[in-house]
């Protein structure tokens, strides 16, 4: 339990680092745009202001953004009593408040948790998963999500989804605006240098975003598997669930996208293989996770 | 440096240590109490569900009087229990009698198809799980608390501050013996 406490602190710290990184990055982008269009200072101030506002919005309603982006809807106990019982029971086991329950109407087998802290958290599962899993397996999945909530993974992962999402959008926009700006600009030395910096930034940001997401997810999934098994005291439950997920013929969650993929318990896209895909994979291979659970 | 200052610093650090220890122990003990209350909530919830369950199966299970009687008796003993050990024993007994009731219900196809019975069964199974999880959480916290007051150097101070080890929510061997399941 003490280890988990350290995990919480580390996640809060990483969230802060991510936020500062986001502000600096946007400030730099703002400086470049500002310079190209006339006022460097205005560009910096404006973009830092915007990024602070955006961070506040992300923190307080990032989870509802993610939920509506994924097409999740809140459900009542009447509709899925066993889902509610699993969430109730495991929140008691974890000693945290009861998260809200959401489902995505999708046949793919998947689940995720989001929110800014355990007091404001929700767990989402697909209806396909509810249909296929037995009670032990469903509890295994919910326990995995519950440990993401308990150690504040959800805060960091929510911020990554929302912040990296917007950076990707922005850099796309920037790339285009440079193509326009270059035609009008007289190419003096400083201007060209700044444009090069801007271009590099614009190309680098989505890459950096990918790296961050990768770094946070792979280790985190193993840890959440282990903590989840500790909550249910029954590793075969989650192992069985992962085995069913591995056999899922259609793992594509229709409304999942690159910004939200790392939130899910297993990657919500079709299976690919190859070096590049593995390098940028947000999730460790299911076989490896199952193996580790079986060894517990 | 003046030896007086050294003594003052040592005493100050010691006092600070005691204050921090005291506060963290109080926090943990409150968590223990809260976790125990959580178990009680779930036990009560299960007890509230049982009369409905008996009512819905009575019509079908005419020849299983003893099974129903066992459930009712076990429920009454959960209500009477006061200490953690008694509650744990009575709760285990009730769980076992409910298990045998649900096992017997397998022989009654009409009962199993009954919407009301199905809902109650889901509700009781869910509550049984929650009881297990709340016990697990309580025992985890109790272990954390007990370890903290029994390890050095905390043990030298904790006993003076009137902190004593808490009981985990576990039935003793004797109480386990009392559980009889009849089919």
Q: In chain A, whose CA is at the least distance from the CA of B128?
A: A89
Yes or no, beta carbons of A92 and B144 under 8 Å apart: no
Residue burial B34-48, b: 16+ Cβ < 10 Å; e: rest: ebbebbeebbeebbe
**What whole-number percentage of chain B has pLDDT above 90?**
47
Closest among B150, B55, B125 to A89, alpha carbons compared: B125
Yes or no, beta carbons of B141 and A89 under 8 Å apart: no
Integer angstrom CA distances of residue A16 from A20, A59, A155, A211, A276: 6, 11, 10, 17, 30
In this prediction, residues A29-38 reach a mean pLDDT of 79
Among B119, B122, B134, whose Cβ lies nearest the Cβ of A92?
A: B134
Q: What confidence tier does A53 reach under pLDDT thresholds 50, 70, 90? A: very high
Residue that the structure tokens 């960091």 belong to: A156
Residues of B with CB under 8 A from a CB of A: 31, 35, 38, 42, 119, 122-123, 125-127, 129-130, 132-134, 136-137, 140-141, 144
Yes or no, beta carbons of A233 and B144 under 8 Å apart: no
The larger pLDDT score, comparing residue A49 to residue A5, is at A49
pLDDT of residue B181: 43
- Domain containing B132 — which CATH number? 1.20.1440.20
Minimal C-alpha gap between B137 and chain A (Å) = 5
Catalytic: A294?
no
Residues of A with CB under 8 A from a CB of B: 1, 81-82, 84-86, 88-90, 92-95, 135, 139, 231, 233
B interface test, pick of A80, A91, A93 with most B CB neighbours within 10 Å: A93
Domain count along chain A = 1
Yes or no, beta carbons of B136 and A88 under 8 Å apart: no
Yes or no, beta carbons of B38 and A90 under 8 Å apart: no
Does B61 have pLDDT greater than 50?
yes
Report the Cα A24 to chain-centroid distance in Å.
Answer: 21
The larger pLDDT score, comparing residue A178 to residue B7, is at B7
Q: In chain B, whose CA is at the least distance from the CA of A135?
A: B126
Residue that the structure tokens 């270059």 belong to: A182
CB B171 within 8 A of CB B85: yes
Q: What confidence tier does B179 reach under pLDDT thresholds 50, 70, 90? A: very low
Task: Look at phi and psi of residue A71 and say left if phi exceeds 0, alpha if psi is from -120 to 50, else beta.
Answer: left
pLDDT of residue B166: 86
**A7, A139, A145, A221: which is the annotated catalytic residue?**
A145
Its domain, for residue B104, covers 3-177
Any idea which of A25-29, A291-295, B143-147 has the lowest mean pLDDT? A25-29
Minimal C-alpha gap between A74 and chain B (Å) = 20
In this prediction, residues B4-8 reach a mean pLDDT of 92
pLDDT of residue A211: 62
Whether B183 is covered by a domain: the verdict is no
Yes or no, beta carbons of B129 and A89 under 8 Å apart: yes
Any idea which of A113-127, B58-72, B169-183 has the lowest mean pLDDT? B169-183
pLDDT of residue A72: 94
Whether B25 is covered by a domain: the verdict is yes
- Which pTM does this prediction carry? 0.82
pLDDT of residue A269: 74
Q: What confidence tier does B17 reach under pLDDT thresholds 50, 70, 90? A: very high
Q: What confidence tier does A272 reach under pLDDT thresholds 50, 70, 90? A: low
Does A278 have pLDDT greater than 70?
no
A interface test, pick of B124, B127, B130, B135 with most A CB neighbours within 10 Å: B130
What pLDDT digit, counting tens, does each position of A6-20 carry? 788 888 988 898 888
Domain count along chain B = 1
Q: What confidence tier does A113 reach under pLDDT thresholds 50, 70, 90? A: very high
Yes or no, beta carbons of B129 and A84 under 8 Å apart: no
Mean pLDDT rounded to a whole number for chain A: 83
pLDDT of residue A193: 59
Whether B182 is covered by a domain: the verdict is no
pLDDT of residue B9: 94
Mean pLDDT rounded to a whole number for chain B: 87
pLDDT of residue B172: 62
Whether B40 is covered by a domain: the verdict is yes
What pLDDT digit, counting tens, does each position of A131-153 carry? 999 999 999 999 999 999 999 99
pLDDT of residue A109: 93
What pLDDT digit, counting tens, does each position of A176-228 carry? 666 665 555 555 555 665 666 667 666 766 666 666 666 566 788 899 999 99
What pLDDT digit, counting tens, does each position of B69-119 carry? 899 999 999 988 888 888 888 999 999 999 989 988 888 888 888 888 988
3-state secondary structure chain A: CHHHHHHHHHHHHHHHHHHHHHHHHHHHHHHHHHHHCCCHHHHHHHHHHHHHHHHHHHHHHHHHHHHHHCCEEECCCCCCHHHHHHHHHHHHHHCCCCCEEEEECCCCCCEEEEEEECCEEEEEEEHHHHHHCCHHHHHHHHHHHHHHHHCCHHHHHHHHHHHHHHHHHHHHHHHHHHHHHHHHCCCCHHHHHHHHHHHHHHHHHHHHHHHHHHHHHHHHHHHHHHHHHHHHCCHHHHHHHHHHHHCCCCCCCCCCCCCCHHHECCCCCCCCCCHHHHHCCCCCCHHHHHHHHHCC
Q: In chain A, whose CA is at the least distance from the CA of B137?
A: A93
pLDDT of residue A118: 95
Any idea which of A1-5, A203-207, A264-268, B124-128 has the lowest mean pLDDT? A1-5
């Amino acid at each position: 339990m003490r280890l988990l406490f350290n995990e919480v602190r580390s996640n809060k710290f990483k969230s802060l680092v991510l936020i500062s990184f986001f502000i600096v990055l946007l400030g730099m982008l703002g400086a470049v745009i500002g310079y190209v269009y006339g006022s460097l200072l205005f560009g910096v101030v404006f973009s830092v202001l915007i990024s602070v506002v955006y961070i506040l919005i992300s923190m307080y309603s990032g989870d509802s953004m993610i939920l509506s982006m994924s097409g999740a809807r809140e459900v009542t106990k009447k509709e899925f009593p066993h889902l509610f019982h699993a969430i109730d029971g495991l929140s008691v086991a974890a000693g945290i408040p009861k998260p809200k329950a959401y489902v995505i109407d999708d046949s793919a087998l998947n689940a995720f948790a989001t929110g800014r802290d355990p007091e404001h958290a929700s767990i989402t599962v697909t209806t396909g998963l509810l249909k296929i899993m037995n009670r032990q397996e469903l509890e295994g999945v919910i326990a995995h999500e519950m440990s993401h909530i308990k150690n504040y993974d959800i805060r960091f992962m929510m911020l990554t989804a929302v912040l990296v999402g917007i950076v990707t959008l922005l850099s796309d926009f920037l790339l285009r605006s440079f193509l326009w700006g270059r035609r009008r600009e007289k190419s003096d030395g400083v201007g060209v240098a700044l444009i090069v910096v801007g271009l590099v930034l614009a190309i680098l940001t989505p890459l950096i975003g990918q790296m961050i997401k990768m770094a946070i997810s792979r280790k985190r999934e193993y840890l959440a598997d282990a903590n989840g098994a500790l909550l249910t005291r029954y590793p075969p439950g989650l192992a069985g669930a992962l085995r069913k997920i591995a056999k899922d013929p259609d793992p594509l969650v229709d409304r999942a996208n690159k910004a939200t993929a790392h939130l899910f318990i297993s990657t919500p896209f079709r299976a690919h293989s190859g070096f590049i895909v593995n390098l940028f994979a947000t999730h460790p291979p299911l076989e490896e996770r199952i193996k580790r659970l079986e060894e517990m | 440096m003046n030896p007086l200052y050294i003594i003052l610093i040592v005493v100050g650090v010691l006092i600070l240590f005691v204050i921090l220890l005291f506060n963290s122990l109080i926090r943990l003990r409150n968590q223990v109490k809260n976790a125990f209350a959580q178990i009680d909530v779930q036990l009560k919830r299960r007890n509230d569900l049982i009369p409905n369950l008996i009512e819905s199966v009575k019509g079908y299970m005419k020849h299983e009087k003893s099974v129903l009687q066992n459930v009712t008796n076990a429920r009454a003993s959960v209500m009477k229990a006061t200490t953690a050990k008694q509650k744990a024993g009575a709760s285990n007994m009730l769980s076992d009698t409910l298990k045998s009731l649900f096992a017997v219900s397998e022989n009654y196809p009409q009962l199993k198809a009954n919407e009301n019975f199905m809902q109650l069964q889901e509700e009781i199974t869910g509550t049984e799980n929650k009881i297990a999880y709340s016990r697990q959480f309580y025992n985890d916290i109790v272990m954390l608390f007990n370890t903290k007051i029994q390890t050095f150097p905390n043990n030298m101070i904790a006993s003076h501050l009137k902190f004593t080890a808490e009981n985990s929510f576990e039935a003793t061997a004797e109480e386990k013996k009392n559980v009889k399941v009849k089919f």
